[in-house]
Structure 1
């Protein structure tokens, strides 16, 4: 993909940070290739959670006592760390959420319900995760706006000519997945942002599959919103973040009401807190937010360029080895132009059966529609198998996957 030469990862050393990789499954070593669903968590991230509960477990922004002060500082500094990781200007632009889905819904409800109406349009794509597609589809139904979809080409790219035609002066929001969780396509978000802004529309990037494995700079992409999940990037479940340009977030109404998101309350009205707390009502996921920041620092210490290159090399190797089998169809762009995953089908074998068989060999992959049912309809298949790679995976694990797929082929021959 034209990535510059970078120092390769010391995968053996990295694997020492993930004790779960030492376990066995069905009598053999675990080969974990379901990272696009949930990555594994390194020891230092787990320890950051236990450290919070063992040393300074208290609520944030609500106490004068020492533990509350320490928890508040750690939680606020976690926002700073995450902001720096994605190139945001500061904590004011980073709202902690449970995951990408919650971040998408936050914008859809807090912005979409107030800004969209009949005659307005939301433009998204055929390759969207349900977190984006369903959310905007339903918000458009509520508001009377129209939802349009940029089609994909036969080789799994966005049809950018169609995008340029679909995005018009009636478009209020463009919502696009940065890297497809099924096709492995990395979309030209900056180009779409330029088109959107030329029509005074906003753009939302679903970065759940890009922030974990490649350098992402929100200012370089010029997105108005961007969201990602901690559990896909060495962090804990129940953690994630919404980036929003400060002036856009300032203009939005809150999504949830309650404690900590207010500065003054009377029986007649309320005044909202400053960013980002305006969008973090109630007691937040404190330890998860702190651990998300620790995961960012862990990845940053290794180097995002190195992680990206490692993933791309594994995906290209898997693409080549699977296609060499002859009766395997891999979906999406060529092997040398995709993110770190491959979705595929073995001729004559349902994806669920395939996943079950390779599990017998200790290989963990995903099977199903990967929360992209409309995309699978476009592809003409009901489901697919998906192997997704991360910084701790090896070429030998790709070989184990291919050998297991080959065994499945012989079983169903």
Structure 2
């Protein structure tokens, strides 16, 4: 058998060494990229992606979570140790390939920095989840290969540093995080709207907010005495205030409450009977301290026992009442906005901001309907036949979704102008049925 020329043997050895150098550079790049890519994945974010991501993201997140669940420090030590072994081996191979000392160090340094660190880490930072999922099995093999050294080192890190459980935000951080997800473009259906951000922030503050900060002061509460006579004037007064629950106190002691009157109990009551309040059915008025959290009061309201609570500095005693809090007050704090119903006089009782309802758009139609209903009522009293209302003239009031259904101003004596051109309520007629 003929002997190969020495040039051929040297050329074949050089090619093998160069291929080995390329392999080591790529392998070192994989280890360096995975070190940054896998360790940069937050466990909390992985849980979120595994539940709400796309099908590909769910699959990748579960693979990476399965790998990291064996020990983040074990994975970290394995990747770092493997990268060090590769980077230390590379100059030795280059020394044999090119036959020089400092040249091997310079070339290996350039290859490691460019192709083994910068480029792989840049890619893995952007696509860390996908790359980590595809190389999970390979990393697991190296974890068991490096087990004698990597696992004990990881155990020491767990002992001194503790295990990582992902990022968990406190309330202040969570509120900031939510606000950062507010939609910049109103057409983005997946982003949070301003109302959603406001509601979430208000919910997070509910437990730390005391009832004394949102209650209605006792001086602003409409109350009745047990000796008040429910004649027409008092019933009209109750109706004009529009409250569904009225605290009742003992005579000559406006801070000693014995219960509350439910306004709907007066539906069947005849004011001509002129009975005192004490003769009517009174409901229990629970009491609580001023430091009770709004969340605790909300939980109490959910039990259905009462939707009004008396706030007192001395609960259970005959004095100390400083205000009342209702379910509506808590809901307003829950959504971060004021709720104004059809009977409210004030938007803000504390600052005496009155409700201004601008309904000029339905004034003419509503007044016609009112006249027809009044005529119907009068004819019914005279036992005459009621007039028939044509369906084509029946009015329906629709709220403009782009505006509020009420307006508020600090000018209490403001009147609706007949020349308003942008009413908040619009009138629509029922289409005539065929």
What band does the TM-score fall into relative to the shorter chain?
under 0.3
Give the structure with higher Rg (CA): 2
Between Structure 1 and Structure 2, the one with more strand by share is: 1
TM-score (normalised: structure 2): 0.21
Between Structure 1 and Structure 2, the one with more helix by share is: 2
Structure number with the bigger relative contact order (C-alpha 8 A, sep ≥ 6) is 1
